[in-house]
């Protein structure tokens, strides 16, 4: 059975004081890592503070990584440094970065390989725009994103990766995909993994849903067979809501 992974993506929210307060409030309240994985992905300047206070059950993730070890890349973040800081996860290819910061399928692929080289676990975001959904080509579009993301990644490396299906039209809009729609595309992602690797690899792959996940809808989303967790924006900023949603990820 795949263990659920519930991750908060704080985007560019919270001051250092607010971030530390949050982690102090929730670190002892989230269930054991044996039951469910919980992660908070924060802005780079507070990564160290969060890692220091993460407790036994909470893991810390970054929201971006560059694909080179070092160099003249003003404003970028190296995997070397993330690994040194004790960061566990890194979000790669979020639609906001694809739309606003020139992230492409090619850089997503390079970043995944770079993260893996430094033992950082990639949370790889894929998902379609409303235009693509309405044109009826979501399956082809998302499959192509998955395939390009994984170019040159071996089956053994695949175990370090988590996919997050985030339909762009559902992010920050309050418009959650219905559990059926979310499940359908998560299943398509699993089928793509099976086609590219093996049935075993596909069965092991954890696939999150993201897009307006909140306390009122997480239970029915996680009840879907191919949804193994959530990547949560807005609702993950509230300590009690985060703890509730991580608990919802404990398999019954
Ligand atoms: P919201 O949960 O705020 O819709 O954001 C989703 C998201 O982008 C998580 O990465």
Q: What DSSP assignment string belongs to 96-120?
A: HHHHHS---HHHHHHHHHHHHHTTP
Helix 16-26 crosses helix 239-248 at what angle (to 10 degrees)? 40
Name the residue of 7, 9, 12, 164 to mutate for ligand 1: max ligand atoms within 8 A of Cβ.
Answer: 9
Ligand 1 atom index nearest CA of 235: 2
pLDDT of residue 176: 80
pLDDT of residue 147: 98
State pLDDT tens for residues 211-248: 999 999 999 999 999 999 999 999 999 999 999 999 99
pLDDT of residue 58: 96
State pLDDT tens for residues 163-205: 999 999 999 888 888 999 999 999 999 999 999 999 999 999 9
* Confidence band, pLDDT 50/70/90 cuts, at residue 126: very high
Distance from C-alpha of 250 to C-alpha of 252, rounded to nearest angstrom = 6
**Ligand 1 in reach of 166 Cβ (< 6 A):** yes
Give the number of domains in the chain: 1
pLDDT of residue 172: 86
**Active site includes 94?**
yes
Ligand 1 atom index nearest CA of 173: 4
**Ligand 1 in reach of 232 Cβ (< 6 A):** yes
Q: Where are the beta strands (DSSP E) in the chain?
A: 5-9, 37-41, 58-62, 89-92, 121-126, 162-165, 206-210, 229-232
Helix 179-196 crosses helix 138-149 at what angle (to 10 degrees)? 40
Atom 2, ligand 1: which residue's CA is nearest?
233
State pLDDT tens for residues 3-12: 999 999 999 9
From residue 196, give the alpha-carbon distance in Å to each of 85, 153, 182, 233: 33, 10, 21, 30
pLDDT of residue 78: 98
Q: Which residue is catalytic, options 37, 66, 94, 103? A: 94
Mean pLDDT of the chain: 97
Residue 41: which CATH number? Answer: 3.20.20.70
Distance from C-alpha of 36 to C-alpha of 252, rounded to nearest angstrom = 11
Distance from C-alpha of 250 to C-alpha of 81, rounded to nearest angstrom = 32
pLDDT of residue 87: 98
Q: Which helix (H) or strand (E) holds 26?
A: helix 16-26
Strand partners, 165: 126, 209
Distance from C-alpha of 179 to C-alpha of 223, rounded to nearest angstrom = 8
State pLDDT tens for residues 30-77: 999 999 999 999 999 999 999 999 988 999 999 999 999 999 999 999
Among candidate residues 127, 142, 178, 124, the one with its CA nearest the CA of residue 9 = 124
**Ligand 1 in reach of 213 Cβ (< 6 A):** yes
pLDDT at residue 252 greater than cutoff 70: no
Average pLDDT for 125-142: 96
Task: Specify the pTM.
Answer: 0.97
By residue range, what is the domain housing residue 177?
A: 5-248
Name the residue of 167, 213, 215, 236 to mutate for ligand 1: max ligand atoms within 8 A of Cβ.
Answer: 213
């Amino acid at each position: 059975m795949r263990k659920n992974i519930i991750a908060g993506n704080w985007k560019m929210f919270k001051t250092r004081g607010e971030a530390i307060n949050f982690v102090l409030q929730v670190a002892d309240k989230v269930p054991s890592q044996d039951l469910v994985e919980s992660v908070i992905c924060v802005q780079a300047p507070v990564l160290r503070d969060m890692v220091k206070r993460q407790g036994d059950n909470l893991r810390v993730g970054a929201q971006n990584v560059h694909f080179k070890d070092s160099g003249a890349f003003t404003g970028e973040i190296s995997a070397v440094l993330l690994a040194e800081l004790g960061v566990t996860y890194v979000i790669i290819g979020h639609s906001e970065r694809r739309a606003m910061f020139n992230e492409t399928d090619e850089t997503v692929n390079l970043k995944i390989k770079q993260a893996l080289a430094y033992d950082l676990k990639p949370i790889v975001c894929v998902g379609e725009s409303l235009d693509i959904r309405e044109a009826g080509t979501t399956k082809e579009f998302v499959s192509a994103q998955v395939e390009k993301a994984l170019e040159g990644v071996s089956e053994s490396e695949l175990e370090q990766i988590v996919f997050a299906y985030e339909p762009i039209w559902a992010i920050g809009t309050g418009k959650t995909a219905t559990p059926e729609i979310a499940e359908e595309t998560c299943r398509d992602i699993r089928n793509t993994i099976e086609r590219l690797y093996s049935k075993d690899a596909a069965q092991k792959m954890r696939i999150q849903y993201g897009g307006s996940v909140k306390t009122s809808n997480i239970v029915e989303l996680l009840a879907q067979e191919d949804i193994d967790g959530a990547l949560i924006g807005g609702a993950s900023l509230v300590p009690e809501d985060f703890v509730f949603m991580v608990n919802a990820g404990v398999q019954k």
